[in-house]
Amino acid sequence: MKPYPTSLFLCIAVLAAVGCGGDPAPAASEGAATVSEAQARALYVRKCSLCHGDDGRLMASKSPDLSLSTLTLAERVALITYGKGTMPGQKGVLNTAEISAVARYIERFRD
């Protein structure tokens, strides 16, 4: 196995801590009204695009290419809510309406 430079590990650590939702925003109330597509896009850009890119294909920090995803809406909601691997869950950071809106927004990236 090749040794990796310390800077690579530092970069990965920063991406894991800051990217994909690392800077918590105040969660809105759970009973919030519907989230517009523009709001869903803004949430995606703020919480997801560092690792997944604006079009879902960046794949930083070994994040999956969202354009190839076969997950259902319910599976995407669960993944965003609870996280997986280096992706932090957004439960308590985003409310359920915001999580659902981001999960729906991601559908636009599918090929």
Q: Which domains does the chain have, with CATH numbers?
A: 6-109 (1.10.760.10)
**Residue 27 C-alpha from the chain's centroid:** 15
Q: What is the pTM of this model?
A: 0.70
CA distance 80 to 48: 10
- Cβ–Cβ < 8 Å for 95, 27: yes
Q: Please, what is the end-to-end C-alpha distance for the chain in angstroms?
A: 35
At residue 57, the pLDDT reads: 93
Q: What is the pLDDT of residues 53-75, one digit of tens each?
A: 999 998 888 899 999 999 999 99
CA distance 13 to 74: 29
Q: Indicate if the pLDDT at residue 80 is higher than 80.
A: yes
- 87: enclosing H helix or E strand: strand 87-88
